[in-house]
């Protein structure tokens, strides 16, 4: 009996050290060496200051910026409260919010159909990307606000569209933070 207890205690200590310390440290070291950017949150740094992440959305509200899709994560893109609203398609709160968002977007771009991702939240509430249609929908507002030609802003959008991964996974998309940073570079040139 004493031998079994001793073996159990030793196995607990050994597996805790191996799986609780050595393995995580080894995986962290490998990730830092092989995938440094991804292991650190794909942060975008400008002038020595972190301004965001490529993989977590941010709220942009000014008329001269591309707007992200709505976020249901806490107070908007709050990673601590990630998740959808769980409102079903017949929920009156969801219906009212979507109608209000559609009306506001149609006022910005009369006569254009509103892309669905501009009025619906993603499952995580942290989606950093929008569809090319949603980005192109915003071109005229941004061009007016920044005194640029619509062709110039459209070309910027097209240059930032990321294709499907491996040619068949996911959908084409545009990263809002990268688009807005590119807009700011145009303004300073």
Question: What are the residue ranges spanned by the domains of the chain?
Answer: 1-40, 41-188
Q: How far apart are the first and last CA of the chain?
A: 78
Residue 180 has pLDDT above 80, yes or no: yes
Q: Cα–Cα distance between 116 and 72 in angstroms, integer?
A: 15
What are the structure tokens assigned to 99, written together? 């109608």
- For 139-174, how does the pLDDT look when each residue is reduced to its tens digit (9 = 90+)? 999 999 999 999 999 999 999 999 999 999 999 999
Of 7-11, 76-80, 109-113, 157-161, minimum mean pLDDT range: 76-80
The residue count for the chain: 189
Counting residues of the chain whose pLDDT is more than 90, the rounded percentage is 59
Q: What are phi and psi of 162, to 5 degrees?
A: -95, 130
pLDDT value of position 144: 92
Torsion angle (degrees, nearest 10) of CA 127, 134, 139, 70 = -50
């Amino acid at each position: 009996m004493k031998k079994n207890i001793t073996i159990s205690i030793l196995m607990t200590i050994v597996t805790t050290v191996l799986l609780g310390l050595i393995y995580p440290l080894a995986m962290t070291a490998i990730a830092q060496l092989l995938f440094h950017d991804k292991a650190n949150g794909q942060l975008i740094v400008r002038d020595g200051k972190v301004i965001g992440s490529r993989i977590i959305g941010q709220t942009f509200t000014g008329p001269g910026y591309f707007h992200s899709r709505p976020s249901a994560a806490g107070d908007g893109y709050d990673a601590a409260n990630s998740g959808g609203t769980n409102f079903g398609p017949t929920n009156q709160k969801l219906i009212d919010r979507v109608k209000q968002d559609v009306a506001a977007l149609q006022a910005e771009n009369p006569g254009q159909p509103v892309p669905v991702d501009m009025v619906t939240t993603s499952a995580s509430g942290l989606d950093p990307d929008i569809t090319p249609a949603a980005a192109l929908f915003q071109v005229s507002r941004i061009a007016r606000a920044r005194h640029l030609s619509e062709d110039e802003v459209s070309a910027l959008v097209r240059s930032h569209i990321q294709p499907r991964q491996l040619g068949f996974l996911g959908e084409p998309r545009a990263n809002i933070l990268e688009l807005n940073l590119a807009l700011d570079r145009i303004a300073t040139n």
